[in-house]
Chain A
């Protein structure tokens, strides 16, 4: 973890009535920084928490938002809840796989995009729903996603 996150992680250790509660918030810091939970960081977190690395892995493997493999700069999550399913969410997911040349859960070679299909995102009234880096894209359409992909690619090009 970078210094800022490490300092925050240390402050989390005493932020709750029980120290054990700091684990998931600390794992969020790691996931935010790296886009996944690298093995070295599992050891760091275990050291901070005073538990074994195996314990940390047991906890993080329970939760879908923690990844063990690097994810793209943009994590695109297509909701496949029943309401989204009834609003053709499958088509959106397949559109993304074709457009980006990835399979379900895969990341583009340039490391920009990861596409996942996820369970109900709790915005059923605005189906089909997509989250990009956990920000909602309600009533998502192919055109909208295409625009988002182009914009993201340009944004990265500008920063380069």
Chain B
């Protein structure tokens, strides 16, 4: 099962991070085509036709998101979300670090389409070297006239400003990102108003993921119709999948949506489980989605099929656990993460993740109590759908499914010999 490379078509070409090699491989042709041959609305139309959906995790149709911008003459902004922090996801990192001009071209072409003169690329603070790589690439692109006050002689201004976050998972949530970009604590905003009407500095704003904006380059090049032929009707195009954990060939793989199953991704591309092991389960869409067990590895990788299988395609970050891995330990590790990253705004998320972590820590330490699983399920129910932003639901997705699929592991851990001995002694 081969990859279908659109975004990664040239990523292994030596020197592709430099503008000369990027141009030699056809780079900046989409931006030139957009700016010199197409109106902004033409570009929006191609993206609509392409059926491109947001690659950050939510899968919302990109063209529709763009169409929500009010036509009221106010200044508009494009924000590229490069805060990639979802555990198991490292696809944007590879684009930023190894293929910076693809991202820059995608951002400029999209900014042109939505009528934003100023775009921002928000990078997580840990992407410091990626920031320097993009800064160099932007300088190269500026020298060639791809951005600045008069892009390619069109008389239009397009510019990009880089911004480094400073360590906070929640800043990947779009309104928290806008807060952070405005110099505040990264706490999510109440919606509505949505960023499209009141975003950065209160102005109409579109926030799109790195991979989403990069995909605009091949869409403009090949046309939306051609792009929509790839993948399935609802899940069009190609998507990057980060495969990591207990697997022989971890890596980023680009495949046509719906044309490859989870099993094919894991075995044919990622090389199968480590020697002598077998797969226990995967968390398929970054850590914020339910587990997918091996009996469902024949599920095609697209938004609808994954949902039907009880989980989500999410960011495409596939975390693989083999038969030696403990679901209980993994659940604790994830809950520590969400507890640490909860911004503290909503009580169910702030207190709930802490209590869940405490209960899981007890179980892992062999001090679990018989009622702990009930307590955990009660806490899950009190977080589910009760928080301002998706972090609360994200925190309980994998754990809830772990209790359904691997309940025995939790029960076994609670009934450890040490515990039983203690109970006898009492």
Contacts and interface: CB of A to CB of B under 8 A. Distances in A.
Contact of A17 (B118, B129, B251, B320): B118
B229 interface: no
A159 interface: no
A21 B92 CA distance: 24
A125 B242 contact: yes
B168 A59 contact: no
B334 interface: yes
Interface string A115-128: 00011111111110
A64 B243 contact: no
Nearest to B253: A125
Interface string B53-93: 00000000000000000000001000000001111111011
A17 to B, nearest CB: 6
Range class of the A interface residue count: 35 or more
Interface in B138-184: 161, 163-169, 180-184
B185 A59 contact: yes
Nearest to B329: A85
A22 B88 CA distance: 31
A18 to B, nearest CB: 5
A65 B125 contact: yes
B333 A63 contact: no
Task: Tell me the dominant secondary structure on chain B's binding face.
Answer: mixed
B163, B166, B334, B337 pick with most chain A CB within 10 angstroms: B166
A136 B341 CA distance: 22
Given A120-B337, A131-B126, A63 B245 contact: no
Contact of A119 (B181, B244, B340): B340
A58 interface: yes
A23, A87, A124 pick with most chain B CB within 10 angstroms: A124
Interface stretch (A24-32, A101-109, A145-153): A24-32
A44 interface: no
A15 B184 CA distance: 17
A28 B243 CA distance: 32
A81 interface: yes
A20 B182 contact: yes
Contacts of A134: 125-126, 128-129
Given A82-B319, A120-B85, A123-B93, A63 B128 contact: no
A28 to B, nearest CB: 6
A85 B330 CA distance: 8
A59 B183 contact: yes
| Chain A to chain B: the 8 pairs with minimum beta-carbon distance, closest first | A64-B167, A63-B166, A124-B244, A23-B183, A83-B244, A65-B167, A20-B183, A134-B128
Contacts of B200: 17
B168 A62 contact: yes
Nearest to A133: B128
B333 A82 contact: yes
A104 B184 CA distance: 28
Given A24-B183, A86-B319, A119-B337, 4 more contacts: A18-B182, A18-B183, A58-B185, A134-B126
B85 A18 contact: no
B228 to A, nearest CB: 29
B317 A124 contact: yes
B321 interface: yes
Contacts of A63: 125, 165-168, 186
Given A83-B319, A136-B129, A124 B88 contact: yes
A81 B246 contact: no
A68 to B, nearest CB: 13
13 contacts: A18-B182, A20-B184, A24-B183, A81-B87, A82-B245, A82-B330, A83-B250, A86-B330, A119-B87, A120-B86, A120-B88, A122-B84, A122-B85
Given A82-B88, A125-B90, A127-B250, A65 B185 contact: no
A37 B178 CA distance: 24
B339 to A, nearest CB: 11
B252 A125 contact: yes
Given A81-B87, A82-B330, A85-B330, A119 B166 contact: no
Nearest to A85: B333
Interface in B120-139: 124-129
Contacts of B75: 17
B165 A24 contact: yes
A122 B319 contact: no
Contact of B87 (A17, A28, A82, A126): A82
B116 to A, nearest CB: 12
A118 B336 CA distance: 11
B124 A125 contact: no
A69 B169 CA distance: 22
B261 interface: no
Contacts of B128: 134-135
Nearest to B332: A85
A70 B137 CA distance: 33
B163 A119 contact: no
